[in-house]
């Protein structure tokens, strides 16, 4: 059973998707090959994916959707003549609640069906934007769950529904969390991180530019 992991992040091996893949792999006895959509020609990669029995595609959520480079890869894939192939997805996102990735999840399950692959499901994890910024001990629980997900995958060639459920929590924000976030918005606390990043990248003064108008 040959599995290929695909990293669909525009930040390739420098982002949070890579951390997810690394911790998933830490649960395996044999590391799986990883390919980076960013560095590949989509048509060539789509062809080479046919050499594997199972594809695990990990990606970040960008604007409630998949990154454009992942879309290009999907457009290069053709339905497989046999239904012996499997595909599963890992989507990690910045917003806390996993329901924000639901539209993408629906798309991915339909895509698997269209491509004639058995759909292994989509693991969704929110609140992951700071994984590669904060010290790793902040994410100890998440990394353990990813390791266990990897170990279970190696045993059963599927995603353990227990871990899928745990990682997907919360599906929605509670009323209390919504109120807390709203009060942060009123006090403009949400801008602290953004402004810091804008200054760090030397574009703070241009933050209201509208180049396409
Ligand atoms: C351009 C862009 C758009 C994003 N859009 C969303 C979004 O719609 N919902 C969300 O929950 N997170 C969003 N995020 C946050 C990313 O999903 C999150 O930071 C993720 O961990 C990035 O993974 P990466 O480092 O592999 O790119 C966005 C990030 C970027 C850079």
pLDDT for position 213: 84
Specify if 212 maps to a domain: no
Claim to verify: residue 25 and residue 101 sit in the same structural domain: yes
Burial of 65 (0-12, 13-18, 19+ CB in 10 A): middle
pLDDT for position 190: 79
CATH code, domain carrying 10: 3.40.50.360
Specify if 36 maps to a domain: yes
pLDDT for position 175: 96
Please, what sign has the CA dihedral across residues 97, 99, 103, 106?
A: positive
> How far is Cα 150 from Cα 158, in angstroms, rounded to an integer?
9
Q: Which of 112, 109, 114, 89 is closest to 168 using CA atoms?
A: 89
Distance 29 CA to ligand 1 centre (A): 30
* Number of neighbours of residue 25 by Cβ within 10 angstroms: 17
First and final CA of the chain: distance in angstroms? 52
Distance 96 CA to ligand 1 centre (A): 11
Specify if 213 maps to a domain: no
Claim to verify: residue 103 and residue 181 sit in the same structural domain: no
Claim to verify: residue 195 and residue 123 sit in the same structural domain: no
pLDDT for position 113: 97
Which residues of the chain have a pLDDT value below 70?
Answer: none
Distance 59 CA to ligand 1 centre (A): 9
pLDDT for position 130: 92
Claim to verify: residue 27 and residue 102 sit in the same structural domain: yes
Residues with CB under 6 A from ligand 1: 9, 11, 15-17, 60-64, 92-95, 100, 128-129
Claim to verify: residue 105 and residue 183 sit in the same structural domain: no
Specify if 96 maps to a domain: yes
Specify if 211 maps to a domain: no
> How far is Cα 87 from Cα 68, in angstroms, rounded to an integer?
19
Claim to verify: residue 105 and residue 34 sit in the same structural domain: yes
Q: How many residues does the chain have?
A: 213
Claim to verify: residue 99 and residue 188 sit in the same structural domain: no
Claim to verify: residue 19 and residue 104 sit in the same structural domain: yes
Q: Which tokens sit at 144?
A: 């353990």
Q: Which residue segment(s) compose the domain that 185 sits in?
A: 175-206
Atom of ligand 1 nearest to the CA of 7: 26
Alpha-helix residue ranges (DSSP H) falling in 58-115? 68-76, 102-114
pLDDT for position 191: 86
- Looking at the structure of the chain, the number of domains it has is 2
Q: How many Cα atoms are found within 13 Å in the side-chain-facing hemisphere of 106? A: 5
* Number of neighbours of residue 140 by Cβ within 10 angstroms: 10
Claim to verify: residue 77 and residue 139 sit in the same structural domain: yes
* C-beta separation of 93 from 122 below 8 A: no
Give the residue whose CA is nearest to atom 25 of ligand 1: 15
């Amino acid at each position: 059973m040959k599995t290929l992991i695909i990293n669909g992040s525009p930040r390739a091996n420098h982002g949070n998707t890579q951390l997810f893949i690394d911790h998933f792999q830490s649960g395996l006895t044999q590391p799986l090959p990883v390919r980076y959509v960013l560095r590949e020609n989509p048509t060539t990669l789509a062809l080479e994916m046919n050499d594997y029995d199972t594809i695990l595609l990990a990606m970040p959520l960008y604007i409630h959707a998949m990154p454009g480079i992942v879309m290009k890869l999907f457009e290069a894939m053709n339905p497989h003549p046999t239904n012996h192939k499997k595909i599963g997805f890992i989507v990690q996102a910045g917003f806390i609640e996993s329901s924000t990735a639901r539209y993408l999840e629906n798309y991915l399950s339909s895509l698997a069906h269209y491509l004639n692959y058995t759909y292994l499901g989509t693991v969704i994890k929110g609140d992951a934007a700071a994984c590669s910024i904060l010290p790793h001990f902040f994410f100890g629980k998440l990394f353990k769950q990813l390791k266990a997900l990897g170990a279970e995958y190696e045993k059963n060639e599927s995603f353990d529904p227990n871990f899928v459920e745990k990682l997907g929590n919360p599906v929605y924000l509670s009323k209390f969390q919504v109120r807390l976030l709203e009060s942060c918005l009123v006090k403009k606390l949400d801008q602290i991180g953004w402004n810091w990043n804008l200054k760090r990248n030397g574009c703070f003064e241009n933050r209201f530019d509208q180049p396409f108008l």
